[in-house]
Every structure is written in structure tokens, then in C-alpha cells.
């Protein structure tokens, strides 16, 4: 049985009294809204005639009783606006119950009301709505956290516990309106990315989330089961192999923005369910893709932020081309003072141990290089930087480098010490691709849980012929972190994954 707090009991008693008055606190009828708080603040002084008869709705956030009148504050999606309510105007004649009982005594912070009236400025200049009609739209049965600010605007006693904010995001959005702006900006970012791609004629598509074979990335999958077909399935770790099938099918450019699922650790930059954008364009290579990404990010950042610079972690980051380009091996040499080119697996393992990097027997040559890079280089990559030309073993879906043995044509874009994008000149040789998959199977046999599986249908698609292609993946969540100035991925996910509360 639900255990109610004293405040919850008070609110339920108020609900019963409202029902006894013959008022439905959850009416089914629509309430027409003609404006919002932001429109009033933006346009009233220049267009006062627009606001002589307005209708607004929102959540009650403050009541200041003045006897036969009161001031209240209503919060809608765009902000807050003050209401001025006189008893004799909203309750003509002898019936004063709506004001004295419903509004003054039985309403609570968090209740939804609709108000109709006209906009004016008070004697102290505060924009307000003089209410002539008031209607309860929804009764709140659970009290909101109290938010207090001092004279300097510093918040005290707010709903600031990150774990509770993530668990109860709906409350976070109510009492911390600035959080809502993070997700407005995230949505704007995704829309501008779509605008950029669509303007170039590339097609947005959808590919399966449930897949027979987990492929397209090195990651541990989530397992599930299809009852009707009685087969095991995986939640996708990437959509790459399906999108490349569409290039085989004749599309010149396709992209998808969607959820990926990786059964891995969680931290400030990783969530097991995340959003990725992947795009594949025929007759291009990874050098062309670098130019395109620079142009696209300049466009998106300027549209969303109003300029091509952002401030985060004490850094001013400039999204202005050209971005720096440096090979992975050269970056380890520059930032880690280590020469890894030509070293054996045993020598790399020793380098990792000397750098206090944990290694195990499942890690091959490429994985050890990656571990050294992550530890010694990534934190230094603050301004947008392309890390190029990765070891072949690390990238079984990329084409071999045209001039450097043992490497592939791949780049990752790093900003503020984090990977934002990953791209290849795509491997379109079916025989080479089969051999790469076979090498992945050997790594899996050594215990590498992130090794790729053999995908015979994808190999068949390549045998029909795929044109030269470049592909790109961008982590939408991490890009949103940058463009909203957030340090943790949970701040840009409306509902991040959380461990259930016991009991």
C-alpha cells in the first residue's frame, strides 16, 4: 500500500472537498490557449492591442494573498507570468466559493489552471494578466521540491540531487526551467543536422533495431528472443551494415538518426542506450568526409549557438575549418612520447603496463595501440582534431590505407577530450571483408567480447558490388553535451538509464 506523507494527505483532502463542491478537478473539456508567457513579454509593449483578451494555462507556482484580491504566478512551457485575481470579478454576485474556497484554500503549488483576461503593467512595472475567468484544469497531489534563491540569485534547497533529478526528470523540468532549454537546444541541433543533409539530397531512412547478427561496431550487444520465430536476436550496436546495403541497392546517400544499444559500462560519457547519426555517401572517401564534417559542424553550431564558438570546461572551442589532422601513431608519439610504429604485441603490452594501463590476453596489437592512445592522447585533444589512419586490426570495416601498410583509411573527430565522430573510406572488397571477419572470429576465440561476428548476408551484398563509399557516425548525445555546455551525458538524456531503487 502506498505510504502518504502529511502533505499528500492534505492535498487528497483538498481534492475531496473540491469534488464535494461539484467541481471536476480533472475536466475533459479542452481549454483554448491563445498566447504564452514569452509572447507576452516579447510583444506587449509594442503591440498592446494583441493582449486585450488573452487565454493562458499553466502550473500554479506562487500565491500571494491580499484579502479580496491576490497575485499568483503561472508557469507555462515558455516561462512565468503574474496573474492578478480579484474575488468580485471572477465570482460575481453572492457566490464567492470559487475564489475563497477553490483558489485561496484548496489550490496548491503545482496545480494547473487556465486563466482568461487582459494584460497590463502593475504600478511597479510587472507584466501581469488581470484575470476575469479562472478554471482549475488539474489537481496536483504531490508537493514540488522547494526552490529558494537569495538576493544574488544563488539557488538554495533546489531539486539538485543528480540521481533524483534523472530518476524524476519530470520534476526536474518543472522546478529547474533551465533544464528544459537543454533539450530544446538538443532538438534544434538534430533538426539543423537534418536540414544540412536534406539540402544535399541525402535520404533519411530507418533500419532494424532487432538484428540477427550484431555488427557494424566493436561492442557487446544486448540479447533478446523473438517468440513467434523462436530465434535469438540482438539490439543493434550500429546500423552501418544495413545502411551500406542501401548503397549497394542504388541510393547515392543515406542517413539515419536513431537509438543504438551497447551492453557496456556507464559513466559520464557513456549510456547503454544512446543516439547516433550515421551517413553513407557513394563515390566519396574519408578525406572528402573530413571536409564535409567541418562544413556541417560550422553550419549546425552557428545555427544552434549563434556563433561558431562554444564555452565548456573553461575552454573556448572553435568550430572553424580547417580542423587539425594528425595520424594516430603520430599523436601517440607527440603526446605520449612513445614510438609504437613497428613494435610487437609484446612490446606494446609492456608499454601499456609502464603507463599503468590494465591489459589482458584478449587484447591484440590494435587494441593495445587503442589503449595507449586513450590514456596518453585523448585528454589533450581540446580543439576539434581529426585522428587519422588507424591500425587495420582495429577497424575491420574500413578500406586499407592507399599508401601506408597495416593501416586503414579512418578518422575520429575529438573535441574537448572526447570522441564525437568516426568515419571510414568503406571497405567494398567482399573477399577482403570476409578475411577481416575471420580475423575478428579469432579475436573472439581469444575472449574479446567486442569482436564482430560473421555476417554472410552483408558479404553477399558486397558481392553484388558496392561503389566507393565513405561513411560517418556522430554521437548525438556527446555533440549535444558540447552545444549545451554539459559535462555529463545524463544531462542531455531525458531519461538516462538508472539502477532500480530497492523496494
Beta-carbon count within 10 A of 229 CB: 9
| Residue 11 shares a structural domain with residue 97 | yes
Looking at the chain, the whole-number percentage of residues with pLDDT higher than 70 is 95
CA separation (Å) from 61 to 97, 107, 110?
Answer: 21, 11, 6
Residue in 390, 372, 388, 378 with CA at minimum distance from that of residue 414 = 378
Spatial contact of 68 and 104, defined as CB atoms under 8 Å apart: no
The pLDDT score that the predictor gives to residue 1 is 67
Assess whether pLDDT exceeds 90 at residue 8: yes
- Provide mean pLDDT across the span 248-252: 98
pLDDT in tens, 319-368: 999 999 999 999 999 999 999 988 998 999 999 999 999 988 888 888 89
The pLDDT score that the predictor gives to residue 157 is 57
Q: pLDDT tier at 43 (50, 70, 90 boundaries)?
A: very high
pLDDT in tens, 117-155: 999 999 999 999 999 999 999 999 999 987 666 666 665
Assess whether pLDDT exceeds 70 at residue 94: no
479 inside domain: yes
| Residue 51 shares a structural domain with residue 185 | no
| Residue 240 shares a structural domain with residue 288 | yes
Task: Of 228-232, 394-398, 442-446, give the lowest mean pLDDT range.
Answer: 442-446
Q: Kindly report each contact of residues 329-332 with a partner whose C-beta sits within 8 Å and lies 24 or more positions away, as own/partner.
A: 329/369, 329/389, 331/373, 331/377, 331/387, 332/369, 332/372, 332/373, 332/376, 332/377
337 inside domain: no
Spatial contact of 251 and 202, defined as CB atoms under 8 Å apart: no
| Residue 194 shares a structural domain with residue 137 | no
Spatial contact of 469 and 284, defined as CB atoms under 8 Å apart: yes
The pLDDT score that the predictor gives to residue 312 is 92
Phi, psi of 445 (to 5 degrees): -65, -25
First CA to last CA distance, the chain: 12
What residue has cell string 550500429? Answer: 238
For 109, the domain range is: 6-144
Which class for 287: exposed (0-12), middle (13-18), buried (19 or more C-beta within 10 A)? middle
Residue in 382, 388, 410, 400 with CA at minimum distance from that of residue 319 = 382
| Residue 266 shares a structural domain with residue 194 | yes
Looking at the chain, the whole-number percentage of residues with pLDDT higher than 90 is 78
| Residue 437 shares a structural domain with residue 292 | yes
478 inside domain: yes
Amino acid at each position: 500500500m502506498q505510504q502518504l506523507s502529511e502533505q499528500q494527505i492534505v492535498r487528497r483532502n483538498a481534492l475531496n472537498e473540491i469534488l464535494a463542491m461539484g467541481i471536476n478537478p480533472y475536466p475533459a473539456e479542452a481549454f483554448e490557449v491563445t498566447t504564452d508567457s514569452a509572447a507576452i513579454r516579447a510583444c506587449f509593449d509594442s503591440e498592446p492591442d494583441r493582449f486585450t483578451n488573452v487565454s493562458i494555462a499553466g502550473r500554479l507556482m506562487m500565491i500571494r494573498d491580499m484579502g479580496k484580491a491576490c497575485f499568483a504566478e503561472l508557469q507555462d512551457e515558455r516561462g512565468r507570468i503574474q496573474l492578478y485575481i480579484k474575488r468580485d470579478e471572477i465570482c460575481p454576485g453572492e457566490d464567492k466559493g470559487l475564489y475563497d474556497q477553490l483558489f485561496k484554500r484548496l489550490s496548491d503549488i503545482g496545480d494547473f489552471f487556465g486563466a482568461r483576461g487582459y494584460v497590463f503593467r502593475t504600478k511597479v512595472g510587472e507584466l501581469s494578466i488581470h484575470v476575469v475567468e479562472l478554471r482549475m484544469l488539474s489537481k496536483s497531489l504531490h508537493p514540488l521540491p522547494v526552490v529558494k534563491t537569495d538576493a544574488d540569485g544563488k539557488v538554495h534547497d533546489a531539486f539538485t540531487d543528480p540521481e533524483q533529478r534523472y530518476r524524476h526528470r519530470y520534476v526536474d523540468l518543472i522546478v529547474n526551467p533551465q533544464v528544459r532549454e537543454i533539450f530544446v537546444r538538443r532538438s534544434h541541433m538534430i533538426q539543423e543536422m537534418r536540414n544540412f543533409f536534406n539540402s544535399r539530397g541525402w535520404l533519411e531512412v530507418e533500419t532494424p533495431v532487432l538484428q540477427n547478427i550484431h555488427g557494424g561496431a566493436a561492442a557487446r550487444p544486448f540479447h533478446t528472443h523473438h517468440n513467434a520465430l523462436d530465434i535469438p536476436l540482438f539490439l543493434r550496436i550500429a546500423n552501418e551494415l544495413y545502411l551500406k546495403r542501401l548503397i549497394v541497392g542504388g541510393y547515392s546517400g543515406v542517413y539515419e538518426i536513431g537509438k543504438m544499444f551497447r551492453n557496456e559500462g556507464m559513466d559520464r560519457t557513456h549510456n547503454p542506450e544512446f543516439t547516433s547519426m550515421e551517413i553513407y555517401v557513394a563515390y566519396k572517401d574519408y578525406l572528402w568526409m573530413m571536409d564535409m564534417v567541418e562544413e556541417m559542424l560550422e553550419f549546425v553550431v552557428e545555427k544552434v549557438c549563434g556563433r561558431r564558438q562554444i564555452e565548456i570546461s573553461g575552454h573556448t572551442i572553435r568550430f572553424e575549418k580547417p580542423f587539425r589532422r594528425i595520424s594516430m601513431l603520430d599523436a601517440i608519439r607527440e603526446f605520449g612520447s612513445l614510438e609504437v610504429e613497428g613494435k610487437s604485441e609484446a612490446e606494446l603490452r609492456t608499454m601499456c603496463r609502464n603507463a599503468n594501463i590494465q591489459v589482458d590476453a584478449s587484447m591484440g596489437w590494435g587494441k593495445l595501440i587503442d589503449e595507449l592512445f586513450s590514456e596518453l592522447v585523448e585528454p589533450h585533444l581540446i580543439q576539434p582534431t581529426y585522428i587519422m589512419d588507424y591500425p587495420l586490426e582495429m577497424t575491420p570495416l574500413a578500406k586499407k590505407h592507399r599508401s601506408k601498410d597495416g593501416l586503414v583509411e579512418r578518422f575520429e573527430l575529438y573535441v574537448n577530450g572526447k570522441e564525437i565522430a568516426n568515419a571510414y573510406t568503406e571497405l567494398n572488397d567482399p573477399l577482403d571483408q570476409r578475411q577481416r571477419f575471420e580475423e575478428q572470429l579469432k579475436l573472439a576465440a581469444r575472449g574479446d567480447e567486442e569482436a564482430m561476428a560473421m555476417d554472410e548476408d552483408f558479404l553477399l551484398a558486397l558481392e553484388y558490388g558496392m561503389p566507393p563509399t565513405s561513411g560517418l557516425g556522430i554521437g548525438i548525445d556527446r555533440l549535444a553535451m558540447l552545444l549545451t555546455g554539459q559535462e555529463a551525458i545524463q544531462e542531455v538524456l531525458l531519461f538516462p538509464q538508472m539502477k532500480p531503487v530497492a523496494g
